[in-house]
Amino acid sequence: DKSEPITSRGMDIFGNLLTFNSTLNKETGARYLFDNTRANGVHTFHAQRMPEFSFLLLNALLGFTGFEVTTSSSFFYDPAAVSAHVNAGKVYDYYKRVFNRDSLDNNGMKLISTVHVGEKWNNAGWNGKQMIYGDGDGQLMISTSGGMDVIGHEMTHGVITHTADLIYEGESGALNESLADIMGSFIENKTGDDLWLLGEDIYTPNIPGDGLRDMKDPGSVPLSGYTETGYYPDHYNDRYLGEKDNGGVHINSSINNKAAHLITEGGTHYGVTVNGIGKQKAEKIFYRTLTHYLTASSNFSDMRQAAVQAARDLYPDRNGEPSVEVQAVMAAYDAVGVH
Ligand SMILES: CCCCC[C@H](S)C(=O)N[C@@H](Cc1ccccc1)C(=O)N[C@@H](C)C(=O)O
Ligand SMILES: [Ca+2]
Ligand SMILES: [Zn+2]
Protein backbone atom coordinates (compact mmCIF):
# COMPACT_ATOMS: atom_id res chain seq x y z
CA ASP A 1 0.00 0.00 0.00
CA LYS A 2 1.40 3.40 -0.95
CA SER A 3 0.04 5.31 2.04
CA GLU A 4 1.63 5.44 5.48
CA PRO A 5 0.76 7.22 8.75
CA ILE A 6 2.81 10.32 9.43
CA THR A 7 2.56 13.24 11.85
CA SER A 8 2.15 16.70 10.38
CA ARG A 9 1.79 20.21 11.74
CA GLY A 10 -0.47 23.16 11.15
CA MET A 11 -2.09 26.13 12.82
CA ASP A 12 -5.65 26.01 14.12
CA ILE A 13 -7.94 29.00 13.62
CA PHE A 14 -6.58 30.67 16.77
CA GLY A 15 -2.96 30.46 15.59
CA ASN A 16 -1.97 27.58 17.84
CA LEU A 17 0.73 25.41 16.22
CA LEU A 18 -0.47 21.80 16.48
CA THR A 19 0.97 18.39 15.68
CA PHE A 20 -1.47 15.69 14.57
CA ASN A 21 -1.86 12.38 12.75
CA SER A 22 -2.11 12.41 8.93
CA THR A 23 -1.37 10.12 5.98
CA LEU A 24 1.47 10.30 3.44
CA ASN A 25 1.18 9.03 -0.14
CA LYS A 26 4.70 7.67 -0.58
CA GLU A 27 4.50 7.76 -4.36
CA THR A 28 3.49 11.41 -4.69
CA GLY A 29 4.73 12.77 -1.37
CA ALA A 30 1.33 14.36 -0.81
CA ARG A 31 -0.12 14.37 2.68
CA TYR A 32 -3.83 14.11 3.60
CA LEU A 33 -5.81 14.96 6.76
CA PHE A 34 -6.55 11.27 7.30
CA ASP A 35 -5.83 10.11 10.85
CA ASN A 36 -5.92 6.32 10.64
CA THR A 37 -4.91 5.75 14.25
CA ARG A 38 -8.47 6.29 15.61
CA ALA A 39 -11.38 3.95 14.77
CA ASN A 40 -11.71 3.45 11.00
CA GLY A 41 -10.21 6.89 10.54
CA VAL A 42 -10.77 10.56 11.30
CA HIS A 43 -10.87 12.09 7.81
CA THR A 44 -11.20 15.81 7.14
CA PHE A 45 -12.24 17.38 3.83
CA HIS A 46 -13.07 20.84 2.49
CA ALA A 47 -15.98 21.98 0.34
CA GLN A 48 -14.26 24.93 -1.28
CA ARG A 49 -17.02 27.23 0.07
CA MET A 50 -19.69 25.67 -2.15
CA PRO A 51 -23.19 26.97 -1.30
CA GLU A 52 -24.30 24.72 1.54
CA PHE A 53 -27.40 23.73 -0.44
CA SER A 54 -25.34 22.32 -3.30
CA PHE A 55 -22.91 20.62 -0.94
CA LEU A 56 -25.77 18.98 0.98
CA LEU A 57 -27.42 17.90 -2.30
CA LEU A 58 -24.22 16.33 -3.70
CA ASN A 59 -23.56 14.79 -0.31
CA ALA A 60 -27.04 13.27 -0.12
CA LEU A 61 -27.16 12.11 -3.74
CA LEU A 62 -23.60 10.96 -4.31
CA GLY A 63 -22.16 10.71 -0.80
CA PHE A 64 -19.81 13.52 -1.84
CA THR A 65 -17.81 14.52 1.24
CA GLY A 66 -15.82 17.33 -0.35
CA PHE A 67 -12.25 17.64 -1.55
CA GLU A 68 -9.20 16.20 0.20
CA VAL A 69 -7.14 18.67 2.22
CA THR A 70 -3.57 18.05 1.05
CA THR A 71 -0.11 19.54 1.33
CA SER A 72 3.21 18.73 -0.34
CA SER A 73 5.13 19.65 2.81
CA SER A 74 4.79 18.62 6.46
CA PHE A 75 2.62 21.69 7.13
CA PHE A 76 -1.11 22.06 6.49
CA TYR A 77 -2.20 25.58 5.57
CA ASP A 78 -5.96 25.37 6.21
CA PRO A 79 -6.62 26.43 9.84
CA ALA A 80 -10.34 25.56 9.71
CA ALA A 81 -9.45 22.06 8.51
CA VAL A 82 -6.71 21.68 11.15
CA SER A 83 -9.19 22.73 13.89
CA ALA A 84 -11.84 20.30 12.65
CA HIS A 85 -9.32 17.46 12.36
CA VAL A 86 -7.71 17.88 15.78
CA ASN A 87 -10.98 18.57 17.63
CA ALA A 88 -12.69 15.55 16.06
CA GLY A 89 -9.86 13.39 17.38
CA LYS A 90 -10.33 14.88 20.85
CA VAL A 91 -14.07 14.16 20.80
CA TYR A 92 -13.38 10.57 19.73
CA ASP A 93 -10.93 10.25 22.63
CA TYR A 94 -13.48 11.65 25.12
CA TYR A 95 -16.17 9.10 24.22
CA LYS A 96 -13.59 6.29 24.30
CA ARG A 97 -12.04 7.36 27.61
CA VAL A 98 -15.17 8.31 29.56
CA PHE A 99 -17.72 5.80 28.19
CA ASN A 100 -15.56 3.27 26.35
CA ARG A 101 -17.56 4.15 23.22
CA ASP A 102 -15.70 3.39 19.97
CA SER A 103 -16.78 6.24 17.67
CA LEU A 104 -20.30 7.56 17.08
CA ASP A 105 -21.84 4.12 16.41
CA ASN A 106 -19.76 2.32 19.05
CA ASN A 107 -18.49 0.22 16.15
CA GLY A 108 -15.49 2.26 15.05
CA MET A 109 -17.23 4.15 12.23
CA LYS A 110 -15.08 6.55 10.22
CA LEU A 111 -15.42 10.16 11.39
CA ILE A 112 -15.83 12.49 8.40
CA SER A 113 -15.70 16.28 8.74
CA THR A 114 -16.01 18.81 5.92
CA VAL A 115 -15.05 22.44 6.43
CA HIS A 116 -15.71 25.57 4.35
CA VAL A 117 -19.24 24.35 3.71
CA GLY A 118 -21.46 27.15 2.38
CA GLU A 119 -20.54 30.76 1.78
CA LYS A 120 -19.87 32.56 5.04
CA TRP A 121 -22.28 30.06 6.60
CA ASN A 122 -22.98 30.96 10.25
CA ASN A 123 -23.54 27.38 11.30
CA ALA A 124 -22.27 23.83 11.67
CA GLY A 125 -24.26 20.64 11.35
CA TRP A 126 -24.67 16.89 11.40
CA ASN A 127 -26.33 15.62 8.21
CA GLY A 128 -27.03 12.14 9.52
CA LYS A 129 -23.68 10.78 8.32
CA GLN A 130 -20.96 13.40 8.86
CA MET A 131 -20.07 16.70 10.47
CA ILE A 132 -20.11 19.90 8.37
CA TYR A 133 -18.71 23.33 9.29
CA GLY A 134 -19.32 26.81 7.97
CA ASP A 135 -16.77 29.62 7.98
CA GLY A 136 -19.12 32.19 9.47
CA ASP A 137 -19.43 35.71 8.06
CA GLY A 138 -16.72 37.04 10.34
CA GLN A 139 -19.21 39.13 12.34
CA LEU A 140 -21.72 36.72 13.83
CA MET A 141 -19.35 33.75 13.67
CA ILE A 142 -15.87 32.77 12.58
CA SER A 143 -14.86 29.25 11.44
CA THR A 144 -17.23 27.08 13.45
CA SER A 145 -14.77 24.17 13.58
CA GLY A 146 -12.73 26.27 16.01
CA GLY A 147 -15.30 25.68 18.75
CA MET A 148 -14.60 22.56 20.80
CA ASP A 149 -18.18 22.64 22.07
CA VAL A 150 -19.47 23.03 18.50
CA ILE A 151 -17.62 19.91 17.36
CA GLY A 152 -18.70 18.04 20.49
CA HIS A 153 -22.27 19.14 19.75
CA GLU A 154 -22.20 17.93 16.14
CA MET A 155 -20.51 14.63 16.93
CA THR A 156 -22.98 14.00 19.79
CA HIS A 157 -25.75 14.29 17.19
CA GLY A 158 -23.94 11.35 15.60
CA VAL A 159 -24.10 9.41 18.85
CA ILE A 160 -27.81 10.30 19.13
CA THR A 161 -28.43 9.09 15.56
CA HIS A 162 -26.99 5.69 16.55
CA THR A 163 -28.88 5.49 19.85
CA ALA A 164 -32.24 7.17 20.68
CA ASP A 165 -32.32 8.86 17.25
CA LEU A 166 -34.57 11.58 18.70
CA ILE A 167 -36.87 13.05 16.02
CA TYR A 168 -35.51 16.48 15.14
CA GLU A 169 -38.60 18.57 15.86
CA GLY A 170 -40.72 19.68 18.81
CA GLU A 171 -39.84 18.31 22.26
CA SER A 172 -37.83 15.30 21.03
CA GLY A 173 -35.87 17.66 18.81
CA ALA A 174 -35.23 19.99 21.75
CA LEU A 175 -33.88 17.02 23.72
CA ASN A 176 -31.69 16.14 20.71
CA GLU A 177 -30.30 19.66 20.69
CA SER A 178 -29.97 19.81 24.48
CA LEU A 179 -28.00 16.56 24.76
CA ALA A 180 -25.73 17.83 21.98
CA ASP A 181 -25.16 21.04 23.98
CA ILE A 182 -24.69 19.20 27.30
CA MET A 183 -22.11 16.74 25.95
CA GLY A 184 -20.46 19.42 23.80
CA SER A 185 -19.97 21.61 26.87
CA PHE A 186 -18.77 18.72 29.04
CA ILE A 187 -16.31 17.69 26.31
CA GLU A 188 -14.99 21.26 25.98
CA ASN A 189 -14.71 21.18 29.78
CA LYS A 190 -14.13 24.86 30.52
CA THR A 191 -14.16 26.13 34.12
CA GLY A 192 -16.57 28.37 36.01
CA ASP A 193 -19.42 29.99 34.15
CA ASP A 194 -17.68 29.43 30.80
CA LEU A 195 -18.52 25.72 31.11
CA TRP A 196 -22.15 26.68 30.44
CA LEU A 197 -21.69 28.94 27.37
CA LEU A 198 -22.20 27.53 23.87
CA GLY A 199 -20.07 28.67 20.92
CA GLU A 200 -18.33 31.43 22.86
CA ASP A 201 -14.98 30.86 21.10
CA ILE A 202 -16.42 31.32 17.60
CA TYR A 203 -19.42 33.61 18.22
CA THR A 204 -19.39 37.42 17.75
CA PRO A 205 -15.61 37.90 17.65
CA ASN A 206 -16.08 41.61 18.42
CA ILE A 207 -18.14 40.99 21.59
CA PRO A 208 -16.26 39.29 24.42
CA GLY A 209 -17.80 36.76 26.79
CA ASP A 210 -21.10 36.06 25.04
CA GLY A 211 -22.32 32.76 23.63
CA LEU A 212 -25.02 31.58 21.25
CA ARG A 213 -26.71 29.96 24.26
CA ASP A 214 -26.16 29.95 28.03
CA MET A 215 -27.09 26.80 29.97
CA LYS A 216 -26.67 28.41 33.38
CA ASP A 217 -28.73 31.50 32.57
CA PRO A 218 -30.70 30.77 29.37
CA GLY A 219 -32.84 33.88 29.87
CA SER A 220 -29.79 36.12 29.50
CA VAL A 221 -29.69 35.44 25.74
CA PRO A 222 -32.24 37.06 23.39
CA LEU A 223 -34.04 34.99 20.74
CA SER A 224 -33.21 37.51 18.01
CA GLY A 225 -31.42 34.75 16.02
CA TYR A 226 -34.85 33.19 15.49
CA THR A 227 -36.52 36.49 14.69
CA GLU A 228 -38.44 36.13 17.94
CA THR A 229 -38.75 38.72 20.65
CA GLY A 230 -37.95 37.69 24.22
CA TYR A 231 -35.31 35.37 25.61
CA TYR A 232 -34.51 31.66 25.80
CA PRO A 233 -36.93 29.95 28.28
CA ASP A 234 -35.65 28.47 31.54
CA HIS A 235 -38.96 26.90 32.58
CA TYR A 236 -41.33 24.51 30.83
CA ASN A 237 -44.25 26.92 31.26
CA ASP A 238 -42.36 29.41 29.06
CA ARG A 239 -41.58 26.94 26.29
CA TYR A 240 -41.88 28.12 22.66
CA LEU A 241 -44.92 26.65 20.94
CA GLY A 242 -44.44 28.12 17.46
CA GLU A 243 -43.30 26.59 14.19
CA LYS A 244 -39.92 28.29 13.80
CA ASP A 245 -36.67 26.42 14.45
CA ASN A 246 -38.36 23.04 13.77
CA GLY A 247 -40.78 23.80 16.60
CA GLY A 248 -38.16 25.37 18.84
CA VAL A 249 -35.47 22.69 18.93
CA HIS A 250 -32.75 25.25 19.77
CA ILE A 251 -35.11 27.47 21.75
CA ASN A 252 -36.60 24.84 24.07
CA SER A 253 -33.33 22.93 24.44
CA SER A 254 -32.48 25.61 27.00
CA ILE A 255 -35.09 24.18 29.43
CA ASN A 256 -33.31 20.81 29.58
CA ASN A 257 -29.95 22.61 29.45
CA LYS A 258 -30.95 24.46 32.64
CA ALA A 259 -31.88 21.16 34.30
CA ALA A 260 -28.43 19.83 33.39
CA HIS A 261 -26.79 22.90 34.91
CA LEU A 262 -28.79 22.47 38.14
CA ILE A 263 -28.01 18.74 38.38
CA THR A 264 -24.31 19.53 37.99
CA GLU A 265 -23.78 22.73 39.97
CA GLY A 266 -26.96 22.97 42.03
CA GLY A 267 -28.78 26.21 42.76
CA THR A 268 -32.20 27.61 43.54
CA HIS A 269 -34.44 28.14 40.51
CA TYR A 270 -38.01 29.48 40.83
CA GLY A 271 -37.82 28.68 44.54
CA VAL A 272 -36.69 25.06 44.07
CA THR A 273 -33.26 24.23 45.53
CA VAL A 274 -31.08 21.57 43.92
CA ASN A 275 -27.90 20.15 45.48
CA GLY A 276 -25.47 19.64 42.58
CA ILE A 277 -23.62 16.34 42.09
CA GLY A 278 -20.78 17.44 39.79
CA LYS A 279 -19.87 16.90 36.15
CA GLN A 280 -18.46 13.36 36.44
CA LYS A 281 -21.78 12.00 37.74
CA ALA A 282 -23.96 14.23 35.55
CA GLU A 283 -22.27 13.11 32.32
CA LYS A 284 -22.75 9.46 33.28
CA ILE A 285 -26.46 10.02 33.99
CA PHE A 286 -27.05 11.83 30.69
CA TYR A 287 -25.09 9.26 28.66
CA ARG A 288 -27.00 6.36 30.26
CA THR A 289 -30.29 8.20 29.77
CA LEU A 290 -29.51 8.64 26.06
CA THR A 291 -28.15 5.15 25.42
CA HIS A 292 -30.53 3.09 27.56
CA TYR A 293 -33.88 4.85 27.92
CA LEU A 294 -34.69 7.61 25.41
CA THR A 295 -36.48 6.73 22.17
CA ALA A 296 -37.11 8.69 18.96
CA SER A 297 -40.33 10.26 20.23
CA SER A 298 -39.34 10.95 23.84
CA ASN A 299 -40.73 14.22 25.19
CA PHE A 300 -39.65 16.32 28.19
CA SER A 301 -41.65 14.25 30.68
CA ASP A 302 -40.12 11.05 29.27
CA MET A 303 -36.70 12.71 29.64
CA ARG A 304 -37.33 13.33 33.34
CA GLN A 305 -38.40 9.77 33.97
CA ALA A 306 -35.51 8.38 31.91
CA ALA A 307 -32.95 10.52 33.72
CA VAL A 308 -34.36 9.52 37.13
CA GLN A 309 -34.18 5.85 36.14
CA ALA A 310 -30.63 6.19 34.78
CA ALA A 311 -29.60 7.95 38.00
CA ARG A 312 -31.26 5.21 40.06
CA ASP A 313 -29.38 2.54 38.06
CA LEU A 314 -26.07 4.28 38.69
CA TYR A 315 -26.74 5.55 42.23
CA PRO A 316 -29.27 3.18 43.85
CA ASP A 317 -31.68 4.00 46.69
CA ARG A 318 -30.18 3.75 50.18
CA ASN A 319 -32.32 2.46 53.08
CA GLY A 320 -35.35 2.90 50.85
CA GLU A 321 -34.47 6.54 50.19
CA PRO A 322 -33.48 7.96 46.79
CA SER A 323 -29.75 8.70 46.60
CA VAL A 324 -28.59 12.32 46.56
CA GLU A 325 -27.93 11.87 42.83
CA VAL A 326 -31.51 10.78 42.15
CA GLN A 327 -32.79 13.59 44.38
CA ALA A 328 -30.78 16.11 42.33
CA VAL A 329 -32.34 14.88 39.08
CA MET A 330 -35.86 15.02 40.52
CA ALA A 331 -35.36 18.49 42.01
CA ALA A 332 -33.77 19.86 38.82
CA TYR A 333 -36.73 18.80 36.68
CA ASP A 334 -39.13 20.14 39.35
CA ALA A 335 -37.25 23.45 39.16
CA VAL A 336 -37.72 23.76 35.38
CA GLY A 337 -41.35 22.63 35.61
CA VAL A 338 -41.01 19.20 33.95
CA HIS A 339 -42.96 16.39 35.72
C1 LIG B 1 -27.47 21.46 8.91
C2 LIG B 1 -28.29 22.65 9.42
C3 LIG B 1 -27.96 22.95 10.88
C4 LIG B 1 -28.72 22.02 11.82
C5 LIG B 1 -28.52 22.54 13.23
C6 LIG B 1 -27.15 22.13 13.79
S7 LIG B 1 -27.17 20.48 14.36
C8 LIG B 1 -26.87 22.95 15.01
O9 LIG B 1 -27.60 22.86 15.99
N10 LIG B 1 -25.80 23.73 14.95
C11 LIG B 1 -25.43 24.47 16.12
C12 LIG B 1 -24.03 25.01 15.92
C13 LIG B 1 -23.44 25.41 17.25
C14 LIG B 1 -23.30 24.42 18.25
C15 LIG B 1 -22.78 24.78 19.49
C16 LIG B 1 -22.43 26.15 19.73
C17 LIG B 1 -22.65 27.12 18.73
C18 LIG B 1 -23.19 26.75 17.49
C19 LIG B 1 -26.41 25.59 16.40
O20 LIG B 1 -26.65 25.92 17.55
N21 LIG B 1 -26.95 26.18 15.31
C22 LIG B 1 -27.94 27.29 15.45
C23 LIG B 1 -27.29 28.57 15.02
C24 LIG B 1 -29.13 26.98 14.56
O25 LIG B 1 -29.00 26.09 13.67
O26 LIG B 1 -30.18 27.63 14.76
CA1 LIG C 1 -18.56 26.53 25.43
ZN1 LIG D 1 -27.49 20.69 16.70
In DSSP terms, 267 is beta-bridged to: 274
Residue 97 makes CB contacts below 8 A (sequence gap 6+) with none
pLDDT per residue as tens digits for the range 15-71: 999 999 999 999 999 999 999 999 999 999 999 989 999 999 999 999 999 999 999
pLDDT per residue as tens digits for the range 314-334: 999 999 999 999 999 999 999
Residue nearest to atom 13 of ligand 1 (CA): 150
Residue nearest to atom 14 of ligand 1 (CA): 150
Residue 55 makes CB contacts below 8 A (sequence gap 6+) with 47, 64, 66, 114, 117, 118, 132
**Catalytic residue IDs:** 154, 250
Is residue 281 pLDDT above 90, yes or no? yes
Task: Return the ligand 1 atom nearest residue 212 CA.
Answer: 17
* Nearest CA-CA partner of 101 in 305, 290, 312: 290
* Cα distance between residue 193 and residue 287, in whole Å: 22
ipTM entry? 0.98
Cα(52) to centroid(ligand 1), Å: 14
In DSSP terms, 126 is beta-bridged to: 131
pLDDT per residue as tens digits for the range 88-146: 999 999 999 999 999 999 999 999 999 999 999 999 999 999 999 999 999 999 999 99
pLDDT of residue 157: 98
Query: What is the band of 155 on the pLDDT scale with cuts at 50, 70, 90?
Result: very high
pLDDT of residue 212: 98
Phi, psi values for residue 230, rounded to 5°: 80, -165
The DSSP secondary structure of 188-224, one letter per residue, reads H---GGGGGEESTTTB-TTSTT--SEESS-GGGSBSG
Is residue 1 pLDDT above 90, yes or no? no
Give yes or no for a contact between 22 and 34, defined as CB atoms under 8 angstroms apart. yes
Q: Which residues surround ligand 2, an ion (CB under 5 A)?
A: 149, 188, 197
Residue 333 makes CB contacts below 8 A (sequence gap 6+) with 259, 303, 304, 307, 308, 339
